[in-house]
Structure 1
Amino acid sequence: MHLMGFCECALVAFLSSVISSQLLQQQACRLISGPSHLPVVAREGNITLGGLFSLHDTMMEARFSFKAQPESAQCVGFNFRTFRWMQTMIFAIEKINRDNHLLPNITLGYKIYDSCSTPRHALLTAMELMGGREEGSGDAFCQGKVPIVIGDGGSTLSMVVAHFLGVFELPQLSYFSSCACLSDKKLFPAFLRTMPSDYFQVNALTQLVQHFGWTWVGTVAGDDAYGRGGAQIFIDKVSKLGACIAFYEIIPKNHAPAEMARIVERISVSGARVVLVFALEQDAKALFTEALKHNLTGIQWLASEAWITAAILTTPEFQSILQGSMGFGIRRAEIPDLQPFLLRLHPSKFPDDPFVLQFWEEMFGCTPQIAISGTIANKPPCNGSEILADVKSIYSDVSQLRISYNVYKGVYAIAHALEAMLKCVPETGPFPGGVCPDTQTIKPWQLLHYLKKVDFTNEYGEETKFDGNGDAVAMYDLINFQLSETGEVQYATVGTFDETKSTKLLIEEKLIIWNGNQRQVPVSVCSNSCPPGTRKAIRPSFPVCCFDCIICAAGEVSNQTDAIECVTCGPEFWSNLKRNACIPKLVEFLSYGDTMGMALLAVALLGSCTTLAVGLVFAFKRHTPLVRANNSELSFLILSSLWLCFLCALAFIGQPTSWSCQLRHTAFGIAFCLCLSCILGKTMVVLMAFKATLPGSNVMKWFRPPQLRALIFLCTAVQVGICGAWLGLAPPVPRRLMTRESAQIILLCDMGSTLAFSLVLGYIGLLAAICFLLAFFARKLPDNFNEAKFITFSMLIFCAVWIAFVPAYVSSPGKYTVAVEVFAILASSYGLLLCIFAPKCYIILLRPEKNTKKHLIGKP
């Protein structure tokens, strides 16, 4: 059903082309049989202009019985607005006839038909204009009664007529046909218009949509060349700008209730707040009537030029949904003296004008007395007191002269073309050989040539000319449908569009009133804009305007609205919480300020103080048997090395520097090596002391203080050598560890040489293992002199700590790697201090009775 109107006009256009071709191929033209019953208003003149106006909105077809000749179709729905256009044509012709400067001594006549808004009827009237049906004019159809036709109004009607007239190169000048398809000179070689092409109107509408940021727009089109063509251009242009069409619906010509209801339902559920209706006023009215039935509100309607100023939509019933509607209309103009000319009409003055009689009947609802005789009146007779000036109607309203002005310009364009023809100088004419046109018998193709060259400025200061496609200059007013305080409709001009200017679209937003009497620009989007910090993610199987907003991943940002993708921050930067800016990464290291650093610092200081306290106890009690029996020199040396071990942990806390990186590992390695070397010597002394008690043994001579000092020195010197080589060849250096997956910059000490670090730890492990084995062998010494048992426990703790250190060190991230190492140092130092010296301090301080030589050498 949607395609019925479109297919009908296409079929009629095809038939008109076929008929025209056949007529040209005939050797002689013959009179079409049968008299003409088409109503016409005419006036004789030297040159007669043809006119086609859709004075009625539709036509009631006669039924075919196939037994008798069918009656003529009846046109219904008289259109006051179109009748004003027709009267404007007559007004312009009479004004030119009174002009002594333009076409002097030439009288223009006219012959105007009603095309009834129907393609078939428009073709029939065009054929009448071409040939007429008077007796004795058998060749008139080929010669042509008129050299040019003004009309028709609708694009579909003009296409049908243009196909027919184009065969004869008879120029057609339309005042209201805006379909972009009519610019095709291959299909319509003789077509011109004072109405801008829809291409420019759609371009203006597209810029309007772009200006207000609407990306989800619905489109409804009439089922004709005007609606389909304009809507398709709009869809193509809007899509290129990144907006999306929420839906595309066609208004059927028969306005079927079920289909109209479906269209309104589609609009309601689409989510689009802005809907373009590209249709004729009759189709737009049908849509809005259905919208009222379904209480469809909250839609910002965009109007095509065909209905933005249509009088049939200004009634109170439509004001609730159309208030705030916006669209582009032809530039408004004022034509002085037109209104008195329009009000001159009266049936008694124009008894032979069939259209005046119909107009009078529709305007006053009565039948003029002059039309009653010999006919059956369907309405009561007029009483003769009817005055046209007392009635307010769209016909006499000259405040919105737009299409009327197009008609006016069209008549003057023809007059200037005729003027140029008459002024042609022989031998300088535009035709081959300098030939001028024959002004006695004007040939349409010659007039067409001059009409294309027309370029003049009228008395209102507006230039009239046609481009290569026969189109007029595109200039529009942006019209806003508003209501005054009294409830009357006002067409407020809130902007302009001029194709000839660099800045084509100018909008005064403060003057706009939107749907619902709002001042805020309506929002029509499928998805709300993605704020900074997010990116757009297209929804599968949805238009590109429908998307989800995805928060940027950690380390990525977007600082603009509707970002397509997030940008990764630089190596030294990280995204903030809002993901809209890159900020410097936090520098992470084991510092004195954080809780972990403070805790380790306190533990290290406590350990060093405890070691000093133990040293003081041993110093004060150095003459006691227990201290002397445990080799006080080795004890003080062990305590000193343990004190260094606790202190070297402090080098691991704080921001890494070149000196701290070199100091922390070498000091730790040497201090622990010194401590283990002393413990090794002590363990050997304990073990050998027991062996020396055997008869004939002189082994203790190898474990006197000089020999022990040499052993300690040699063992420590090996570690010093390893550390020296490490510092000389590949020393530890501070390094900034920056990964794109981390929000921190980790400050750490690069080992420089993993092999050297492994050797340091391995050597310490070797000394610890030897100490453990020797202490283990000495575990069965007498209890009163069993220091090897405590050394065994201390070495067991020491080895357990450092064995657990390796996997913990490898798996710990960031500053926790350093904390694990510090913890291992402190734990192993505390293990040595407590296991070796706590029992001795217990006896010295709490059990002095056991701190005797007798007790130490006695048996348990």
Structure 2
Amino acid sequence: MKMPVLQTVLLVFPFLYRIQSASDEDCKLWRDLDSAVVHKEGHIVLAGMFPIHSKGLEQELNFTSRPDQRTCRGFNMRVFRWSQSMVFFIEEINRNPALLPNITLGYRLYDTCGLTTLSQRTALSVVSQPRKKSSSGVCSSPSIPIIIGDSGSTLSMANSRLLNLFRIPLVSYFASCACLSDKHQFPYFFRTIPSDVNQANALARLVKHFGWTWVGTVGADDAYGRTGIDMFTAEVTRLGVCVAYRVIIPKLPTQQQLQEIVRTIRDSTARVLVVFAIEEDIKPVVDEIVRQNVTGKQWVASEAWVTSTLISTTENYPSLSGTIGFAIRRAEIRGLKSFLESIQPLAKPYNPFAREFWETQFQCSLNTSLPFASTTEPVQYSRTCSGKEMIQDTQSIYNDVSELRVTYNVHKAVYTVAYALHYLLLCQRENVSAFTQPCPDILNLQPWQVVEVLRKVNYTNIFGDLIYFDKNGDPIGSYDIVNWQRGREEDPVQYVTVGRLDSSSPTAQQLVLNQDQIIWHGGSKKVPVSVCSASCPQGFRKVTREGQPVCCYDCVLCAEGSISNTTDQSECIPCPEDFWSNQHRNHCIPKQIEFLSYSEAFGMALAATAILGAVSAMTVAVIFFRHRYTPLVRANNSELSFLLLLSLTLCFMCALTFLGQPSRWACPLRRTAFGLTFALCLSCLLSKTLVVLMAFKATLPGNNTARWFRPPQQRLGVFLCSVLQGGVCAAWLTIAPPYPVRNTWLYRDRIILECHLGSVALFCCVLGYIGCLAAFCFILAFLARKLPDNFNEAKFITFSMLIFCAVWITFIPAYVSSPGKFTVAVEIFAILASSYGVLLCIFAPKCYIIIFMPERNSKKYLMSQR
């Protein structure tokens, strides 16, 4: 047991022992621990505990003498209204014939002064009340089976632990700490205010909703403040929000401590601060904030002070304007205002707090010898009160019923107890027990019997709210979201409801906000920004700064091929294989498809060159055909010449197949067409070379070799050479033909459409065969270049083969090293260059003579030796 509890129990133990050992006639209180009590008798008496004085002075306990009466100061009109409201609700129940008929409720109202020791002392005063004498003459059970209070979480924790010894239930109207939901520690505790678990989660969701990722936290040095901050920090961190600082307000802060707290708030880059504290604890900090003129901060308040008129004053508003927070539900309670304003300071039963309220409200002194509610020396005012003054003519927080929130919780607490007692009354009268034990005697209740029925209370009150306790003794988590607003500077602060939270609704519908109605700090309609680092836009990723919270980061542009399409992404998303990032790195766009097409300038130039070559070859063929009977054409084997021109035309046209998008038919066509046309061309050249050699040998005496190289043999030779290449191509197309592929590995940002060779070995065979034909033809032509002839065609074949071999030898390294579509361009260039070399070297001189020197196109000239 903690020391304050032990001290209090030791102080009251003699009184309890006296009661237990009292004789029949001594069934009375030996000495009341509290003199300032408002009471009224009834069949069942309810105790109410309220911190009517906000500050109490601790007493030094020496255990050698009885402690003095409590000493309190700081009369709190708001709390006094709560206590008077309890009286109003009890009298309202007594007038209700449908609720507790023939049973009168009484009350005993105590002032706890907001101190733990005094609150526990009050609890023991409740326990030590006079006991009723049973028919057997024995002092029976306590006359107060239940206590309504206390307001603070710390006070309720201490009282609940103490009352656990007597199994007396405690129903709090304002203790919201989540720790009180622990039924192992507080099995007899109930409350009508939602647990701070709901509020902490709701505040975290609110912060996340407005995009605040860098917030400060301020809490009181008690269970309410520390637990609230801990729960809020845990939840908000889970949502990705960082806490810039954590400030704890001492219960009795020094001026230096206040200055340090305000310095932390002022110097932090966090513009939003969340405060868990009651109004008495936060007020010194607010006063220092106002004194130092700290502005530019957006305050988020807990329910304990968000509707506090002690804080939301005109003087404080410039620093706290736009404050937003969760407030417990409010209600319009009919008749309460009239009841509150009908109070009389000297009426019976005497209310010692009413006298102090009267003198404080009217700033006067009542001429009476009746005691005050505390031993503090009364304030002497310059004028005297008559007690007939009209409260209706004054305005204070006492008779302001526009924001009945805690008062509504008191209403729910009183009525919940009344309904529990009503269930017990019905059980007794109808003799039908819904409980684990037989129906108890409502006029001789044991506290634990009330606990059992409290757990099963379930009713709908006159305001339409469903009232019940869950397994932890907590109600439904329901809040209003209020925003501090005012019109003109002299107008009071208005608590405008801008939303609502209901934890009983589905998760997506729990938080409802009317954001357009919110007025933020400084009168702005724009949501304030509170971040450690500005949001990373799309296309950037977050890089956390070393040694700093995750909310403090730098923005780095996503690498090529990756994107971020939302703000504040921690990692960039790689684009799919066929996509690439755009310039801003916020979208994946299809990769550019690249191939050598007719539409681009380079492709058009190559196509034009190929067509020009084909036209040139056909033009030469036309010239030769028109002069086919001339000696020059006939001397150069016109049949092979026409076949060679045809093959050259096909070679030029073959280059066109390499242009355009590769496809399943285009890829095999371009490779086989290349192999066959060049094989035909070189076969013709080889035959021409052999004809030249054989023609020279035929002029030698006795040589009959020329008869084996007549036109039929020439055609057969060209056919066999071409067919051999055709066989290789057929095997290529059968085994592993070329096919189109999407080359995504050469460039990361684009796709190259190209033809895969299929079988590389067969491609090498095709290319090697052409090379062999060209090399053999070159060797033969080189050997025949100096044969005695006026127009030796072998010289031109030698030059053409020299060009052909040079082109295709340089083609190999150029082909291997050229990237993408330039590989195809190199191949087309090699085809065109070698074809033009053959056409120009072999046919250009002949055409020149035929057209421009017809005198040399004669048998005499050709037969002459030079």
| TM-score grouping bracket, smaller chain normalisation | 0.7 to 0.9
- What is residue 668 of structure 1 aligned with on the other side? 674
What is the match of residue 801 of structure 2?
A: 795
- Most deviating of 61-70 and 120-129: 61-70
> How far, CA to CA, are the matches of 2:19 and 2:71 in structure 1?
35
Aligned match of 1:178: 176
What TM-score do the two structures reach when normalised by structure 1? Answer: 0.83
Match of 1:437 in 2: 441
Letter in 1 for 2:48: G
Aligned to 1:597: 603
1:4 corresponds to:
none
Q: Give the number of aligned pairs.
A: 847
Equivalent of 1:737, from 734, 742, 749? 742
Once the two structures are TM-superposed, the CA of residue 247 in structure 1 deviates from its matched residue by 4.6
Once residues 141 and 835 of structure 1 are traced to their aligned partners in structure 2, the CA distance between those partners, rounded to angstroms, is 138
Compute the displacement of 1:20 (Å). 9.2
Q: Identify if the C-alpha distance between structure 1 residues 656 and 345 changes in structure 2 by more than 3 Å, giving closer, same or farther.
A: closer
Q: Which residue of 2 aligns with 1:124?
A: 121
Aligned amino acid, residue 113 of structure 1? Y
The equivalences for 1:392-411 within 5 A come to: 392-411=395-414
The aligned runs of 1:10-409 (5 Å cut-off) are 12=4, 39-45=36-42, 47-61=44-58, 74-96=71-93, 108-131=105-128, 146-209=144-207, 212=210, 217-240=215-238, 245=243, 247-256=245-254, 260=258, 272=270, 274-292=272-290, 296-345=294-343, 347-349=345-347, 353-370=351-368, 378-384=379-385, 387-409=390-412
Unaligned runs of 5+ in 1: 1-8, 135-139
Q: Quick one: distance in 2 between partners of 1:674 and 1:635?
A: 12
AA matched with 1:278: F
- Distance in 1, matches of 2:731 and 2:198, equals 85
| C-alpha spacing 1:254/1:753, structure 2 compared with 1 (3 Å) | same
Task: After TM superposition, list the pairs within 5 Å mapping 1:429-468 onto structure 2.
Answer: 434=438, 436-437=440-441, 439=443, 441-455=444-458, 462=465, 464-468=467-471
**Cα distance in 2 for residues equivalent to 1:257 and 1:848:** 122
Q: Measure the CA separation in 1 of the matches of 2:320 and 2:357.
A: 28
Q: Secondary structure at the match of 2:226?
A: helix
Retained in 2: the 8 A contact 1:325–1:515? yes
Q: State the distance in 1 between where 2:4 and 2:197 align.
A: 25
Q: Is the 8 A contact 1:556 1:579 kept in 2?
A: yes
CA distance in 2, matches of 1:570, 1:67: 85
Any idea what the Cα deviations from partners look like across 1:466-523, whole Å, max 9, x if unmatched? 4443333443323222213563211122333344455544444443333333444455
After superposition, the Cα gap between the structure-2 partners of 1:527 and 1:26, relative to the gap in structure 1 and judged at 3 Å, is farther
Alignment partner, residue 137 of structure 1: none
Following superposition, the deviation at residue 761 of structure 1 comes to 1.2
Displacement after TM superposition at 1:314 (Å): 1.7
Q: What whole-Å deviation, never above 9, does each CA across 1:284-339 have from its counterpart, x for those lacking one?
A: 33444444456554444332111111111221132224333222222222333322
8 Å CA contact 2:667, 2:740 repeated in 1: no
Give runs of aligned pairs for residues 614-625 of structure 1, distance below 5 A: 614-615=620-621
Deviates more, 1:494-503 or 1:369-378: 369-378
Question: Is residue 487 of structure 1 aligned with residue 491 of structure 2?
Answer: yes
Counterpart-to-counterpart distance in 2, 1:713 and 1:165: 117
In structure 2, distance between residues paired with 1:67 and 1:193: 38
CA distance in structure 2 between the partners assigned to 1:593 and 1:639 by the alignment: 29
- Give the Å deviation of 1:449: 4.0
Which shifted more, 467-476 or 191-200? 467-476
> 2: CA distance between counterparts of 1:803 and 1:780?
26
Alpha-carbon distance change, 707 to 542 in structure 1, aligned in 2, over 3 angstroms:
same
Q: Following TM superposition, by how much is the alpha carbon of 1:239 offset from its aligned partner in structure 2, in angstroms?
A: 4.6
Shift of 1:36: 5.2
Q: Counterpart amino acid of 1:436?
A: P
Distance 1:671 1:312 in 2: 102
Report the alpha carbon displacement of residue 773 of structure 1 after superposing the two structures with TM.
2.4
Distance 1:600 1:14 in 2: 104
Higher alpha-carbon deviation: 151-160 or 831-840? 831-840
SS at match of 2:766: helix
* 2:197–2:231 CA contact under 8 A, matched in 1: yes
Greater CA deviation, 527-536 or 267-276?
527-536
Structure 1 position 155, deviation (Å): 0.8
Q: 1:295 to 1:842 in 2, by over 3 A?
A: farther
* Identity value in percent: 51
**Contact 1:658–1:734 under 8 Å retained in 2:** yes
Measure, in 1, the Cα distance between the counterparts of 2:345 and 2:327: 33
Deviation of 1:76 after TM superposition, in Å, equals 2.9
Separation in structure 1 between the aligned mates of residue 212 and residue 40 of structure 2, nearest angstrom? 52
User: 1:87 & 1:630 partners in 2: Cα distance?
Assistant: 132
1:529-583: CA deviation from partner (whole Å, max 9, x where unpaired): 7777777777776666667777776666777777787777776666666666666
Q: Quickly say closer, same or farther: Cα 1:805–1:267, change in 2 above 3 A.
A: farther
**TM-score where L is the length of structure 2:** 0.82
Q: Counterparts of 1:753 and 1:124 in 2: how far apart (Å)?
A: 100
Separation (CA, whole Å) in 2 of partners of 1:470 and 1:99: 27
773, 777, 788: which is aligned to 2:779? 773
Tell me the amino acid that sits aligned with residue 314 of structure 1: S
Do the aligned partners of 2:34 and 2:69 also contact (CA within 8 Å) in 1?
yes
CA distance in 2: counterparts of 1:320 and 1:123, whole angstroms: 40
Kindly provide the CA deviation profile for residues 19-62 of structure 1, in whole angstroms up to 9, marking residues without a partner as x.
Answer: 99999999967999999576444445555433321122223446
Secondary structure of the structure 2 residue equivalent to 1:392: coil
The 2-side partners of 1:832 and 1:315 are apart by 103
Q: Which amino acid aligns with 1:758?
A: C
Alignment of 1:835-846 (within 5 A): 835-839=841-845
Cα-to-partner distance string for 1:55-93 (whole Å, 9 max, x where unaligned): 222234467999999876642322111111122223334
Amino acid at match of 1:497: L
| Partner in structure 2 of residue 680 of structure 1 | 686
The amino acid across from 1:831 in the alignment is G
Please give the root-mean-square deviation of Cα atoms over the aligned residues, in Å. 4.8
Aligned residue for 1:120, secondary structure, equals helix
Task: Find out whether 1:609 has 2:615 as its counterpart.
Answer: yes
The aligned residue for residue 3 of structure 1 is none
Residues 331 and 475, structure 1, Cα contact 8 Å, conserved in 2:
yes
Q: Is the 8 A contact 1:230 1:278 kept in 2?
A: yes
